[in-house]
Structure 1
Amino acid sequence: MKPAKAALTGLLALLAALAAGHLVAAFVGLSASPYLAVGNAFIDLTPSWLKDFAVSTFGTADKLVLLTGMAVVLAGIGAGAGLASRNSPASGSLVAVLLGFVGVVAVATRPDVGALAVLAPVAGTAAGVYVFRHLHKEARESASRRDFLITAGLAVTAGVVGQVFGSRTDVEGSRRAVGDLTPEVKAPEIPVGADFVRDGTPSFITSSEDFYRIDTALSVPRIRAEEWALRVHGMVERPMVLTFEEIRSRDLVEETVTLTCVSNEVGGPYISTANFVGVRIGDVLREAGVKAGADQLFSTSDDGFTAGSPLDHVLEHGLIAIGMNGQPLPAEHGFPARLVVPGLYGYVSATKWVTDLKVTTFAQDQGYWIPRGWATRAPIKASSRIDRPARNGEVRGRTVIAGTAWAQPRGVAKVEVRIDGGPWREAQLGADVSDTTWRMWRVELDLRPGSHTAECRATDKSGLTQDQARLDPVPDGATGWHSVTFTVE
């Protein structure tokens, strides 16, 4: 067999295996797709330093990079298996079985699929072996280009059909059916002067489309509100299960909250603010009756992600949110429901697609990121960043330096700026909206032409000024003063 045909045989067999697995996964749970399951397993096994590197390097495109890298590696394996099997299909068949075994293990260890999920990688393995042996035989008997094109077409069709059927849950229809969410208690109006957009800061309220996203799973769970339920159990007197309508029928409150990702480097973008509508976690848990000795609220997502929050903090500050910026939660941000807890980094509090709340202890249960080297308790640190001028930017005329500061839930009392290591100068603060939100700032300076470096630091309302020491996000959030070098012309 010619090398080109041999490599193509391996590639098409691999494509057929992935497509068949994806098609079957459409009926047993899309997370069972071997390609997605192996990718999710890789994410779960990724050490903290590599995860932090991926987020800081690729941002929210980290999962696309992972999937692309997997595709390249698998293509190499498929082509290599074909080349190694030019005289006999045995080697290629063995590679297909081994890859199938990896897929079975990956699916079997997923927390968000049922027992039938292993049918997807099994079907993929069977299809891969069959297609490989069939094409190998045809290629040795002078198969035409048409045979390969038909196989490729069938594989692509199977994959597309699997994607269409796997995504058939009408989440958007369910969101539309929710209708208006009218809170009993509305968030205060954002006052004029809360941001300095004209000077370069973000708008005070982040649109749902621009709100940052950091997820662990490769696919967004698709859940209809009509089929969703929240289990409340553990160290409570009265366990309960709440439907979406039961949540919605309670007294809803609206709160303006800034959420922050622990992966944010100094000056990073993973922070956003929105108006969230929901019910207070404290009201639900007090109704359930928290038992003495409990110190953690352990939340679980539909996709298997878990987070452990300090119980005393969520009793005071947490929301079970069902709305965001006047609409039901977008699917990407947790529809039908998610947790919103100001003052804690997202990895211990902001569980999206939440389906389970367990009142427990930190000694009993550990959230997803804790065994991976992250801190158990993660209060948000006082931080600030410079939004304008941009790094290595140019300024003409009078210099305006503007930025953002945050210290939820303590609030920001002061932001200071210094130029070229000189004395600190207090910045003008935007209107104070809430201690659970960020605060914008600006300062206007006359600077001589040339290169300058600006630094900023925030002080919260407890009197604590952000730490100068530059530390990485692991294990409990980055520290350091953000600096920007720019040129005045």
Structure 2
Amino acid sequence: MKPSLATTLSRPVAVSVAVLAVGAALAAGQLVAGLLAPASSPYLLVGDAVIRLAPQAVVEFAKTTFGTADKPALLVGIAVILLLVTVAAGLASRRFATVGQVVVGALGLAGIVAAATSPTIVPTDLAAPVVAAAAGLWVLRTLHRLAMEATERPDEPGYRGYPRRTVLLGASTTVGAAAILGGGAGVLLGRPTVDSRAAVTQRLAAATVAREAPIPAGADFGVTPFVTANADFYRIDTALRVPQLQAEDWSLRIHGMVDRELTLTFDDLMARPLVERTVTMACVSNEVGGDLISTARFVGVELADVLREAGPAAGADQVFSTSTDGWTAGTPTDVLLEPGRGALLAVGMNGEALPTEHGFPVRMVVPGLYGYVSATKWVTDLELTTFAVRQAYWEQRGWGERGPIKTEARIDLPRRFARVPAGAVTVAGIAWSQPRGIARVEYSVDGGPWSEAELAADVGGDTWRMWRGVLNVGTGSHTMRVRATDGTGEVQTEQAADVLPDGATGWPAVVFTAT
């Protein structure tokens, strides 16, 4: 005698079915993305859509709360929400698979819509989310049917099937293994840049480069390294998955309001005169006294020369740059063409090819401008246009148009809330005002008179400058402030302002305790 079909799945079984279905969907999507286009992973497409559509207040909260870990935090948040939705769908599908199918279908549709609305969409980008949706629906329907048909009473006379536990264990093992292998293969199939970067590093070592003078020995005081190691260089961008470009596949189009359109390959770029520039770069989201600032020695091609070759038309006041992932920046044309500004199409950073996460194979570096209006990584397109016609990514979200870096200082020693011995206390930090340079730094404790700090050797107006001094303090809590004066004689403003719309201002302060 054949037993009757189960009418209701247990909660653990129903949830397992839903989780396996969604896991299979994600793995199938990742596999297809790895085969066709790594950036079309449905999971990452949805994350990119969240970044594009998030209100500015949410974006700033994420930056302030998580700092450079905002992207991992977003991915974890999406995973938690996805898991909760999946569990709820499984619990709602204990009798019928309909609810689960609707939820999986909706998740699949979200991936398809995210792909279709991506600013860099190509037809193949739709393949991964479509396959993911189909795989999820098929696995859910199949596992739900098997679970419903399997009996909990395999010892019933006349029954020749399999117990539900055996069916689900076998199905779970098969689907889970396929999901892990498929997802892992998808990740591995994304073309890495390791070989291409190594080749570019070798080319740079053999190339003729107009080098800058070595960093003088007195450029730092041993508190903060003058040149930031590549691994420590701050990273702020909107890319959830770092674009994996090959130098041999890269090209740059210069077009729009120009006399002649240009298209440059990486070989074309390397055939031009290469120069070295030591540049301090800063993020507009850097809070007063924050650490979103770094210095590196970049090697690249003078961007002004490339633009002049294209011949900007009169009235083209903006160079609208686009990254391979669709991010855009609008840079004032007059700044890029300014004699001595030193804007680069950079290919090297601190003696090697650009790190992948910092724009390999080519990025823009513009001294004196915050990164949001100038520092396009993985740059593939430059359009000469006007600010009146086109708005770049952050300008659309309420940020300022031109983004000049402001005069700022930072206290690196003592650290905030540090405990130090009473008496002579060494204080130190950095100051910057690109491209004007730093002429003076002053510090004060507990509202007392200002003392002039000792300045490290001046490397140039495009870089930060180190300072240090000595305080004599008694026991107890103390508050120290610092202010800088730029090369034109203008003193850093005391007026506090938020990072939005064009950078924070105010005198940085730290509280410490002398014992």
TM-score with structure 2 setting the length: 0.92
Match of 1:358 among 367, 376, 383: 383
Structure-to-structure mapping, 1:106-125, within 5 angstroms: 106-125=114-133
- Is the 8 Å Cα contact of residues 9 and 79 (structure 1) preserved in structure 2? no
What do the CA deviations read for 1:74-93 (whole angstroms, capped 9, x no partner)? Answer: 01111111110111111111
**Counterpart of 1:152?**
176
Q: Cα distance, 1:426 vs. partner? A: 1.0
**Counterpart of 1:102?**
110
Give the AA of the match of 1:226. Answer: E
- Is the 8 Å Cα contact of residues 48 and 474 (structure 1) preserved in structure 2? no
SS in 1 for 2:210: coil
**Counterpart of 1:335?**
360
- Is the 8 Å Cα contact of residues 427 and 443 (structure 1) preserved in structure 2? yes
SS in 2 for 1:262: coil
Following TM superposition, the consecutive aligned residue runs of length 4 or more in structure 1 with deviations greater than 3 angstroms are none
CA distance in 2, matches of 1:105, 1:20: 17
Q: Quick check: 1:193 aligned with 2:215?
A: no
Give the AA of the match of 1:84. Answer: A
Match of 2:401 among 373, 376, 380: 376
Give the AA of the match of 2:376. Answer: T
Give the AA of the match of 1:191. Answer: P
**Counterpart of 1:86?**
94
Structure 1 residues 42 and 170: CA distance shift in structure 2, 3 A: closer
CA distance in 1, matches of 2:38, 2:241: 8
Q: Cα distance, 1:158 vs. partner? A: 1.0
Give the AA of the match of 1:418. Answer: S
CA distance in 2, matches of 1:290, 1:449: 63
Q: Cα distance, 1:184 vs. partner? A: 3.6
Q: Quick check: 1:165 aligned with 2:189?
A: yes
SS in 1 for 2:218: coil
- Is the 8 Å Cα contact of residues 299 and 351 (structure 1) preserved in structure 2? yes
Query: Which 10-residue stretch deviates more, 470-479 or 349-358?
Result: 470-479
Give the AA of the match of 1:386. Answer: I
What do the CA deviations read for 1:410-436 (whole angstroms, capped 9, x no partner)? Answer: 111111100001111111111110100
Structure-to-structure mapping, 1:180-259, within 5 angstroms: 180-181=203-204, 182-197=207-222, 200=223, 202-259=224-281
CA distance in 2, matches of 1:188, 1:359: 34
Give the AA of the match of 1:325. Answer: N
Structure-to-structure mapping, 1:87-486, within 5 angstroms: 87-140=95-148, 141=150, 142=164, 143-166=167-190, 169-178=191-200, 179-181=202-204, 182-197=207-222, 200=223, 202-316=224-338, 317=341, 318-396=343-421, 397-486=423-512
Q: Quick check: 1:44 aligned with 2:52?
A: yes
Structure 2 residue runs of 5 or longer lacking an equivalent are: 1-8, 151-163
CA distance in 1, matches of 2:208, 2:371: 24
Query: Which 10-residue stretch deviates more, 386-395 or 43-52?
Result: 43-52
- Is the 8 Å Cα contact of residues 29 and 113 (structure 1) preserved in structure 2? no
Paired positions, count: 484
Structure 1 residue runs of 5 or longer lacking an equivalent are: none
SS in 1 for 2:144: helix
TM-score with structure 1 setting the length: 0.97
CA distance in 2, matches of 1:170, 1:336: 12
- Is the 8 Å Cα contact of residues 307 and 348 (structure 1) preserved in structure 2? yes
Structure 1 residues 134 and 189: CA distance shift in structure 2, 3 A: same
Give the AA of the match of 2:218. Answer: G
- Is the 8 Å Cα contact of residues 31 and 112 (structure 1) preserved in structure 2? no
CA RMSD of aligned residues (A): 1.1
CA distance in 1, matches of 2:16, 2:487: 65
Q: Cα distance, 1:286 vs. partner? A: 0.8
CA distance in 1, matches of 2:379, 2:29: 27
SS in 1 for 2:230: coil
CA distance in 2, matches of 1:176, 1:65: 31
CA distance in 2, matches of 1:144, 1:287: 67
Match of 1:9 among 14, 17, 25: 17
User: Identity of counterpart residues, as a percentage?
Assistant: 53
Q: Cα distance, 1:267 vs. partner? A: 0.8
CA distance in 2, matches of 1:138, 1:206: 58
CA distance in 2, matches of 1:484, 1:213: 25
Give the AA of the match of 2:375. Answer: A
Give the AA of the match of 1:49. Answer: A
What do the CA deviations read for 1:441-475 (whole angstroms, capped 9, x no partner)? Answer: 00112212221110011111122222212222111
Larger radius of gyration: 2
**Counterpart of 1:33?**
41
SS in 1 for 2:444: strand
Give the AA of the match of 2:378. Answer: W
CA distance in 1, matches of 2:52, 2:370: 19
